[in-house]
A and B are shown apart, each in its own frame.
Chain A
Amino acid sequence: MQIPTAIQRFAEHYNYLVTIFLMVAGLYVVIARGNMIKKLIGLSLFQTSVYLLYIAPGKIIGGTAPILDPSFKVYSNPLPHVLILTAIVVGVATLALGLALVVRIHEAYGTIEEDEIFAKEGEQ
């Protein structure tokens, strides 16, 4: 009895578990990596996990796409999708700006490793 309930719990919450894993992994990459591109990758991963956090609960089991029709009574919630569409646009803009900054930093310093840049600043 014990093990099936554990599996059931896992199955019921697995979208949240994936979300949390992605969230923590992304945040870890942002903090632990000195390479600026890798930092941005981690940041994107972190943001993506939030998309999942919103989208997953929006699905209602047995619900259809939210198009009004007399033969359906239960609809999935469309609002999270709309919100996340906005968040994705914001995420893309942030990533683009971040990458543009990395290009400029590479031009200015000749490297995109944070420790090397700090070493260069220390010399001055």
Chain B
Amino acid sequence: MKSVTVHLPALQVVVPLLGALLCALLRRGTSAWAMSLIVSWLLPAISIALMLQVLRSGPISYHLGGWAPPIGIEYRVDLLNAFVLVLISIIGAAILPFARRSVAHEIDGDKQAWFYTMYLLCLTGLLGITITGDAFNVFVFLEISSLSTYVLIAMGKDRRALLSAFQYLIVGTVGATFYVIGVGLLYLVTGSLNLVDIAARLGPAAAESSRPVMAALAFLTVGVSLKLALFPLHVWLPGAYAYAPSVATAFLAGTATKVAIYVLLRLFFSVFGVAISFRSLPVSEIMLVLSAAAMLIASLIAVFEMNAKRMLAYSSLAQIGYITLGISLANVAGLTGGIVHLLNHALMKTALFLALGAVVYRIGSAKLDDLAGIGRQMPLTMAAFVVGGLALMGVPGTAGFVSKWYLAVGAFDRGWWPLVFLILASSLLAVVYIGRVVEMAWFREPSEIAAKAKDPPWSMLMPLLALAAATIYLGIDTEASAAIARKIAESLLGGLK
């Protein structure tokens, strides 16, 4: 047993990678689904074990192939990435019971096994990005997850899915290449690729050769921001989320952008450190303005969107704005808010997209007009949607309130109190766009197609209700998520204030 626990960091990545290969070999949709279900339920067990180990005895350093860092590749698990690992693996596992019927409904029989292969590959990439301590390794995993994401999106039924996948491929590759340029510059300055080692070597070197370091910071920030869809770099996201298969959308909304945000946190706070990231370049100010723009403009677009899936995609942009706002505040409360929102947004947006996925499963459409009266036909599904929507608005008693509270406190601490009004304004816009769906679903006479719909089978309802319940639980037991997020924020800011 001892020998297994030592290798948990490697297993976190190797298990889904092998699972993906097996799925490709199985060829039959149902058996591939069963395979990926088993694999994806193993992953939270591994990540939670890692988390407990970190909580008990501090960061874990795993040397791949026995080569010691900084020469060898190191997997390094500390509180921040253990937290992200748990989040991603749980979301990945929670979606799969839902996936079987939804995928069978939306994707042709011979392609279903490929869907699960890509799903697990994407999960491999995302977990790999999170766990690795090597800058170039991050790029490799980034591309594993990106390439499989493009395929997942292109599997959507609508032909516009192809177009969205192509657009994302172009933008995503440019982003990843920017990341490589940044890493290259850092390597030229420091001679190392190990994140911890780069941070240590940057300390003295940064002052003398500051220009390449600044350029690296700029390239890395822009590259990763493309991946996390920071406001003006978001063009790929709405199309990709709107036309991808429902399961893929829910999965990507809950995981892909969150991992990109993790990379940004890691770079800003662990590699460059607050001194370089926020003092030498106006990164914080730029990010603040862009986050504010995302929160307002994306929410406004969401208000006028007629397709519910697209609407939620724009709402995702606004919510990502909240998280980057927390990063740009760069104080303990703000960062705590950002990290808590990372978790909360993943849970509620996955729940919302799964609810829409269930609707698409029954009526084959996510257009707002077709949702008329659906609430009475699919009460449990739409109840979960309402819970997710309330969390999105930040109603007290739901998870969204906790993160917004910390963000507001962070804004006050920093002396930027007008931001509080911005957070309120964006929340009000969320009330409007979620309100439109709720009004349509619960207070209209059922449309022709909606009249025939009913709640989906329990295999699909359970993940949905569980996620909705989690958003309420985290809204009531506020310390459950906030305590650990505050610990992470303190360790990120620690020593570099």
A32 interface residue per 8 A CB criterion: no
Stretch in contact with the other chain, from B146-154, B259-267, B317-325, B462-470 = B146-154
Say yes or no for A18: interface residue by CB 8 A criterion.
no
* B154-202 CB contacts (< 8 Å) to partner A: 154, 159-160, 162-163, 165-166, 169-170, 173-174, 177, 180-181, 184, 187-188, 193
Question: Cα distance A93–B125 when bound, in Å?
Answer: 15
- Is the beta-carbon distance between A50 and B180 smaller than 8 angstroms? yes
- Min CB–CB distance B146 → chain A (angstroms): 8
| Alpha-carbon distance between A101 and B163 when the two chains are bound, in angstroms | 8
> Which residues of A sit under 8 angstroms from B147, Cβ to Cβ?
93-94, 97
When the two chains form the complex, which single residue of A23, A57, A86 contacts B188, counting CB atoms closer than 8 Å?
A: A57
List residues 88-111 of chain A with CB under 8 A from any CB of chain B: 90, 93-94, 97-98, 101-102, 104-105, 108-109
Is residue B49 within 8 Å, beta carbon to beta carbon, of the partner chain?
Answer: no
Q: Are B159 and A108 in contact (CB under 8 A)?
A: yes
In the complex with contacts A50-B180, A87-B180, A108-B159, A43-B166 CB distance below 8 A: no
- The answer to whether B169 touches A94, judged by C-beta atoms less than 8 angstroms apart, is yes
- Asked if B385 is at the interface (CB within 8 A of a chain A CB), the reply is no
Q: Evaluate whether A101 and B170 lie within 8 angstroms (CB atoms) in the complex, with A46-B177, A83-B136, A90-B140 already known.
A: no
The answer to whether A53 has its CB under 8 Å from any CB of chain B is yes
A43 CB contacts on chain B under 8 angstroms: 170, 173-174
Q: How many residues of A contact B (CB 8 A)?
A: 29
- A53 in contact with B160 given A94-B143, A101-B154, A101-B165 (CB within 8 Å): no
Q: Which residue of B lies closest to A36 (CB)?
A: B166
A27 at the interface (CB under 8 A from B): yes
Determine the chain B residues whose CB is within 8 A of the CB of A30 once the complex forms.
Answer: 170, 174
A57-B188, A83-B136 in contact; A109/B143 too (CB < 8 A)? no
Write the nearest CB–CB distance from A91 to chain B, whole angstroms.
Answer: 8
Give per-residue flags for A15-33: 1 if the beta carbon is below 8 A from chain B beta carbons, else 0.
0000000010001001000
Please indicate the chain B residues that have their CB under 8 angstroms from the CB of A102 in the complex: 166
Contact call A50/B165, Cβ cutoff below 8 A: no
* A50 in contact with B177 (CB, 8 Å): yes
Asked if A97 contacts B174 (CB within 8 A), the reply is: no
Nearest CB in chain A: distance from B64 CB, A = 15
Residue on B with the closest CB to A93?
B147
What is the distance, in angstroms, from A66's C-beta to the closest C-beta of chain B? Answer: 14
Interface hits, B131-150 → A, CB 8 Å: 136, 139-140, 143, 147, 150
User: Are A94 and B173 in contact, CB atoms less than 8 angstroms apart?
Assistant: yes
> Chain B contacts of A101 at CB under 8 A?
150, 154, 162, 165-166, 169
Is A47 part of the binding interface, using a Cβ–Cβ cutoff of 8 Å?
A: yes
Is A121 among interface residues, defined by CB-CB distance under 8 A?
yes
CB distance from A53 to the nearest CB of B (A): 5
Per-position contact with A for B29-40: 1 when CB-CB < 8 Å, else 0? 000000000000
Name which of A47, A53, A86, A90 has the most chain B CB atoms within 10 A of its CB.
A90
Report which residue of A43, A53, A93, A97 has the largest number of chain B beta carbons within 10 angstroms of its beta carbon.
A97
Question: For the complex, what is the distance from the CA of A86 to the CA of B136, rounded to whole Å?
Answer: 10
Interfacial chain A residues near B177, Cβ < 8 Å: 46-47, 50
A105 touching B170, Cβ below 8 Å: no
Question: Are B184 and A50 in touch, CB under 8 angstroms?
Answer: yes
Asked if A54 is an interface residue, CB under 8 A from chain B, the answer is yes
Residues in A neighbouring B188, C-beta threshold 8 A: 57
Task: For A109, list chain B residues within 8 Å (CB).
Answer: 159
Distance A107 CA – B163 CA, assembled complex (angstroms): 12
**Closest B residue by C-beta to A102:** B166
- Complex alpha-carbon distance, A42 and B494, angstroms: 43
Contact of A46 among B163, B174, B193 (CB under 8 A): B174
A-chain residues with CB within 8 Å of residue B165 when the two chains form the complex: 101
B136–A104 CB distance below 8 A: no
Q: Is A93 a contact of B162 with CB atoms below 8 Å?
A: no
CB pair B162–A121 under 8 Å, yes or no, is no
In the bound complex, CA of A43 to CA of B169 (Å): 10
Nearest-CB distance from B371 to chain A (Å)? 20
A-B contact pairs, 26 of them (CB 8 A): A23-B181, A27-B174, A30-B170, A36-B166, A43-B174, A46-B177, A47-B173, A47-B177, A50-B177, A50-B180, A50-B181, A50-B184, A53-B184, A90-B143, A98-B166, A98-B170, A98-B173, A101-B154, A101-B165, A101-B166, A104-B162, A105-B162, A105-B166, A117-B163, A121-B160, A121-B163
Which residues of B line the A interface, CB within 8 A? Answer: 136, 139-140, 143, 147, 150-151, 154, 159-160, 162-163, 165-166, 169-170, 173-174, 177, 180-181, 184, 187-188, 193
A residues lining the B interface (CB < 8 Å): 23, 27, 30, 36, 39, 43, 46-47, 50, 53-54, 57, 80, 83, 86-87, 90, 93-94, 97-98, 101-102, 104-105, 108-109, 117, 121
Which 9 A-B pairs have CB atoms at the shortest separation, nearest pair first?
A108-B159, A90-B143, A101-B166, A105-B162, A104-B162, A53-B184, A54-B184, A98-B169, A50-B180
Given contacts A83-B193, A108-B159, 7 further A-B contacts (CB under 8 A): A43-B174, A46-B174, A46-B177, A50-B180, A93-B147, A101-B166, A117-B163
